[in-house]
Amino acid sequence: MRLTFRRILVAFVPLVTLIGMIVLGVTVFGRDAGDGPSQISLVFATAIAAVLAMAVEHVPWSTLEQGISLSISKAGISIMILFLIGMLSGAWMIGGVVPTLICYGVKIMNPSIFLACACIICAIVSLMTGTSWTTVATIGVALLGIGTALGVPAPWSAGAIISGAYFGDKLSPLSDTTILASSATGTDLFVHIRYMLFTTFPSMTLTLIIFLVAGFFLVDATAVNAQDFAEGLSSTFHITPWTLLVPLATGVLIALRLPSLAVLFLSALLGGVSAVILQSDVLLSVIGEELPSATGYYKALMTTFFSSTHIATGSEALDRLISTRGMSGMLTTVWLIICAVSFGGVMYAGGMLKTIADVALVCVRGLASLVGATAFTGALMNVAAGDQYISILITADMFRDAYREKGLESRLLSRTIEDSSTVTSVLVPWNTCAMAQSASLGIATAVYLPYCFFNLISPFMSVLVAALGWKIALPGKAGRPISA
């Protein structure tokens, strides 16, 4: 289909409207923008996209409706994972797992190198598990607590945690995005992973340097309240190495390659067992009871799983740190996800996402501009579609022929998609990835975004490496690229 001004206008009007309304919502409502204004903005943008698709492009309503249904069905697993993350966060906190990790962590971690250490720890865990979501929801939450106790600003800690988690997710052969990017471009999985090293390691190196340098300036040694935090937690919870059996068991479940849903559910149950056995007093305090009884334990455990919990420690800062929201605390995020994927479904079914990608292709002149257009499209699709899987698939479909016509290897396309679609998804407030990480850490996307250095650097590193021609197989004298 020919690219016309009408098509461009139809494609970008809903997107520009959405971004404008989101910015206005944040300006007016501040941090409460995600509690309703952003959802309404997405509904308005979806309505505008639907009207334009039907009136200008003559797309039947049934087609748009199918697009919405398909997008929501694809988000079903993400929604269930979010609910289980809420359940797990409550169980791990009341079960003493997170408090124990915080107490031990503040004793062995140096505040000045905490950010770099947190980034590396999350990178290793994510590389082994293949999932950034589980990494952030488990070890990431504990590291955020440790950073808070050490006096490290929470947005910086969140940036380090997310940077590490997405580094590991991107390179893990167990990651669904890694598998999807390689299969969508027809690239062997391990060829794809090896080729990503040439952009991923330089990006992570720069990220670690930034976190190391920042660590020496962020923390005021005289203001660190790690000891107060540890004492407050010790006086409230039963701090014992036995609680560490829960994360160890979780590691075993991951090593057995169980699905994320199963791992999160079983980990939450283990946290509940820890709460009953090791933290019975804390568990009963959730419902305001002191005398143990079977009914009391059941009610307290169920409340921990599905509702918010607030434990009084005598320290306001510590009370905020150990408060949880349970499953019900994820409902606003799920509301946002449904609105976001509905917008993406209409944009996809109406052909608007394809038009946006076509616009990027118009700007292509050489190798660097092709890679740049691919990276830009991957990031923009995360904005327009609100889902990294849609971004990966559309970007692969739109650029596959362009790379083939220029005699470039598919691994260059798959790497560029990972350098953009995968890592920038967590930077878009209405993207499913960003909503999951924001919900897990309790920090708004706009707040942690400036500190996700790995995610911010990766797309530019991809373009820089292409401009330098480093390890890129160009059509040679034989007229075809060298093989992987």
Structural domain boundaries in the chain: 80-329
Considering the entire predicted model, what is its pTM?
0.81
Single out the residue of 117, 322, 137 nearest to residue 230, CA to CA: 322
Strand, helix or coil for residue 34: helix
Sorted by sequence, the CB contacts under 8 Å of residue 278 that are 6+ apart come out as 95, 96, 238, 240, 242, 243
CA 423, chain centre distance (Å)? 8
Token readout for 436 is 């999951």
The whole-angstrom separation of Cα 338 and Cα 31 is 20
Single out the residue of 82, 97, 79, 146 nearest to residue 272, CA to CA: 97
Taking CA atoms, 307 is separated from 136, 258, 269, 272, 330, in Å, by: 20, 27, 15, 14, 10
Specify the pLDDT at position 137: 86
407 Ramachandran zone, left/alpha/beta (phi>0; psi -120 to 50): left
144-147-152 Cα angle (round to 5): 125
Specify the pLDDT at position 357: 75
Looking up tokens 């997008």 gives 71
**What is the residue-level pLDDT of the chain in tens, covering all 484 positions?**
577 888 889 888 998 998 888 888 878 887 677 788 888 988 999 999 999 999 998 999 999 999 999 888 877 887 888 898 889 888 998 999 988 888 888 777 888 899 999 999 999 888 877 888 888 888 898 899 888 888 889 999 999 999 999 999 898 887 888 888 888 888 888 889 999 999 999 999 999 999 999 988 886 554 446 677 777 888 889 889 999 999 899 888 877 878 878 888 999 999 999 999 999 999 998 888 777 888 989 999 999 999 988 888 777 777 877 888 889 988 888 888 888 889 888 988 998 888 877 887 777 777 888 899 899 888 988 888 777 888 888 888 778 878 888 888 889 999 999 999 999 999 998 888 898 899 888 898 989 999 999 999 999 999 999 888 887 766 653 344 433 3
Phi, psi of 309 (to 5 degrees): -130, 145
